[in-house]
Amino acid sequence: MRREPAYRLQGVGDPLLLAGGLLLAGLGIAMIWSAGQVDLPSLVTGAWRRQLAWLALSLIAFVLVTRVPMRWLEWATPWIYAFSIVLLVAVLVVGGGPNTRSWLRFGGFSLQPAELAKLATILLLARMLGSRKEPQRGLFELWRPVLAVAVPFLLVMAQPDLGSALIFVVILVSALFWGGTPLFTIFMLVSPAVSLILGFSATVWGVWFVVLVVALYWRRPFMAEAVVVALSNLAAGALAVPLWNRLAPYQQRRLLVFLDPDVDPRGAGWHLIQSKVAIGSGGVSGQGFGQGPQKRLAFLPEQHTDFIFSVVGEELGLIGALVFLALLAWFLHRVLRVAAETEGYGSLVAFCFFAVWFAHLVINVGMTVGLMPVTGLPLPFISYGGSFLLTTFVGVALVCRAAFET
């Protein structure tokens, strides 16, 4: 029996969800201000003002989106998706950015189309899967959602932006899981990606392939599915090294320093080394808000974006970091609760946003302490980034709308 939502408010849905988002965004602006308190002023110094302006725009977007019925949004989803694909193609032609072509610039305004594409892909998968009376169980039945994700995934990889591309995989897996697709079917679908990762070691990949064959024999899917999965894993294992050679040099260095930061201590490894030093120096209670020495001396790169959590750890210590993580965990719990209390399109939208924000949280915090490769994914609400903040609040608005229509 479905449980009724505990909190609903006319035009908002879940007011605590909105309050949590505003609180986290406010704390994020405070940390961005602190990140700009450096001995040699730079563009980071005024970043908090730009983030504040983006927050104002995000709240306007929130109000507008919460006024749109979910059935209207479901109808418009294919057009939103098509528009996002057009922007992804455009950014490959006229886009710019450090090391990538990820940004469309209009005078002083910049937009990252990959963020809109994530949102549009969530909506399209929710429409595809939420309207089905029975979940898709066979591997070959998944061609439509796989194609819907493959198009933006490949376009984002072409920028190249590996971190954002990985989020599209998260969106696909989470949508299929919440849509009722059997776990073994999802396992078969993602198994080539595992082979691609493990293909750098013949021994490790060989063990994985034996495990895969045993699993296929045990579960006995359709013969055609088993053959396709086995051949796909063989191909992925063989392509691992060639695809590695096609990665941009900076992407290769980021992955290598995850294993050993001393491989490039003054280049890609610098980020991770300085991040660990900053967090470690914070101790239990921190160096004090605005007083982090690693940050003030500009030793910590990207301290207002990718490594904002390092500033939190350095200045607020273990206690402050745990408070931030607890607030984010509480917010994600509210989103998951909405997904559990709604049905169909709205439920899938809410759960996919939960999965995306959770993945951002785990990867961003993990990379600051050396548990994840440096992939350039921001921390939800906290990191500087206008496009990401805007689409995040649009996501909050969609979750709140889903809660309101329950």
Cα(198)–Cα(209) distance, rounded to whole angstroms? 10
Torsion of the alpha carbons at 349, 373, 31 and 105, rounded to the nearest 10: -70
Output the pLDDT for position 277.
84
How confident is the model over 140-165, as pLDDT tens digits? Answer: 889 999 999 999 999 998 887 888 88
Output the pLDDT for position 3.
44
DSSP class of residue 69 equals: -
- Within 274-340, strands assigned E span none
Q: Are 398 and 353 in contact (CB under 8 A)?
A: yes
Which residue blocks in 182-307 are alpha helix, DSSP H?
183-198, 202-219, 223-246, 249-259, 268-282, 293-296
Output the pLDDT for position 6.
42
Cα(131)–Cα(74) distance, rounded to whole angstroms? 10
The whole-model pTM stands at 0.90
- Within 35-180, strands assigned E span 104-106, 109-111
Output the pLDDT for position 4.
43
Output the pLDDT for position 370.
81
Output the pLDDT for position 243.
79
Q: What residues of the chain score a pLDDT lower than 70? A: 1-13, 40-41, 97-100, 107-108, 247-248, 250-268, 295, 297-299, 406
Output the pLDDT for position 1.
36
